[in-house]
Structure 1
Amino acid sequence: MHVTFLGTSGAIPTTERNTSAVCLRREGERFLFDVGEGTQRQMMRFNTGFDISHVFLTHLHGDHVLGLPGLLQTWDFNERDEALAIHTPSGTKPDVEDLLSVAGTRPSYPVRVDEVSPGAVALRGDEFEVRAFETDHRTTSVGYALVEDDRKGRFDRDRAEELGVPVGPKFSKLHDGESVELEDGTVVDPEQVVGDPRPGRRVVYTGDTRPSKPVERAAENADLLIHDATFADEDAERAPQTGHATARGAAELAARAGVKRLALTHVSSRYGGYAGHLGEQAREAFPEAFVAEDGRELDVPFPDAE
């Protein structure tokens, strides 16, 4: 699983930071989370590829969606024929459809707009789900958690051979959860040679939000939490007023949720080209925090990776 930060600024872009967008690649499939203005140029700049199958919108503020019409038009010019699914919070489908038609034409390829509510599964894929969860912003909004299914336990080959299982197809049957019978009539069960299921990965993207209990629950034990960190401590009073978080507030939530890494994003343009102090403030509460920058790439390993 691979994450590329395409836009890490708040509502106003800067020369260093574009508006909100994150590309996530899993097993060859690519997803976009929010599509701020200029996202398609960021995709070119950082070589993410354009074969996006699903777009997930957290809310319809302009800095999260205004890149969508241009991107859809570019796909049309490039003779795309694969279907595209756009996921958006409940009640916003008509607005998204209006946005898609702003250029005066509809794409020639199939485009489906699906509404999602907190707690719903936005997408069920091959051994993973993308789940919507409640966020706390100034408008209708959701966050998204990509959660992989548990994986098979490790197969203990040495133990299988000790029990007399011959090398070959019976190994695979045991690893797939089937019991096998040996030539002498002995039955070997999977639990004798296969360890406990191993957890998959969890990546959580909040979009714009105040820290909240629903976000904390969604982020529990996440391998990567990408959280709103619009403000530094010195502007903390602005965060609840505008439906955003401080870097420290995001870090405190990450610590409570037991996440492994925290990426701080949606950085206010008031901090110009320097946002290092947001990272410093966050790391006082959660050492594994960092301020994401446009173009930063991050691999998300399995929890049990050595």
Structure 2
Amino acid sequence: MTDGAAMPERTEVDDLITSGEDLHLSDGLETGPDLPGGRVPLPEGPRVWLVPTPVGNLGDITLRALDVLRAADAVACEDTRRTGALLSHLGLRRPLVRLDAHTMHRAPQVLERYPRLAYVSDAGTPGISDPGAELVRAALDAELPVEVLPGATALVPALVLSGLPGARFTFEGFLPRSGRDRKARLEAVAARSETSVLYESPHRLHTTLKDLASACGPARPASVTRELSKRFEETRRGPLEELAAAFSGTVKGELVVVVAGRPEGESTPAQSAEQAAAPQPAALAREWAQAGLGVRDIRDRLMAQGLRKNDAYALALEAAQG
């Protein structure tokens, strides 16, 4: 700064800035001297690790995940070709064992042969919408320690990218493809007040968005994120009806759909149809009066239907006098 130059006026932003000097790791973070970067050595003995793998960008693999994959006796996975390609890219060579939905019944034998086993899914954190949860159960039944490494997942970034409230949300995973179960899950998404997060395949996305628009109402805010962390990552936000139209053609990539919760006081299309079909309180009061019920009994029945005491009494009195 030149002599005589005026000092810039301090702003609120300046109060938020620190030089970073004299800052130290929190006492809540565990470090160790034996590995680069202060990483903690892996424990000895039999153990099962669930290891997250990148959902797209291979740079998202963690240092700890690499340590575990190197130390494991074998790597169990859903698709040996896909996982083999990942390990090759990472410069790792480990025995691969297929453990998917069709072969998970062999988990006890695999755990017996490979006491230090790492399990990965095709992408993201194992145990979420894949058979990893069954492996955890088998390991616990065999009294083996289980560790789940923090790491890549698609649902959390997509939720944050949606711009919708994320303090409370429900993860739906994949919806049933058809039938009563699908209808029930769609109605649950429509009725709940918190945000919902769903996974969907490219060839079913358009149908699911249309079904969501029908269940939640066409104007319900939502987002669709595809190709998360990859070169052509995209998030579209808008009403469900507009998103269904936008994704009516061919779609590629992994997909996450995020749907806003039901606004307070708003009825879903299913609830509105049910309310329209239900007898109205005045009609019920007249029907009960014609059946010979007195004012008090009519009032009590109307209150059981959810009416306030004064409103119920007024309808009961009108019906009894009419």
Name the TM-score, length of structure 1 as normaliser.
Answer: 0.24
Name the larger-Rg structure.
Answer: 2
Relative contact order, higher structure (CA 8 A, sep 6+): 1
Higher-helix-fraction structure: 2
Higher-strand-fraction structure: 1
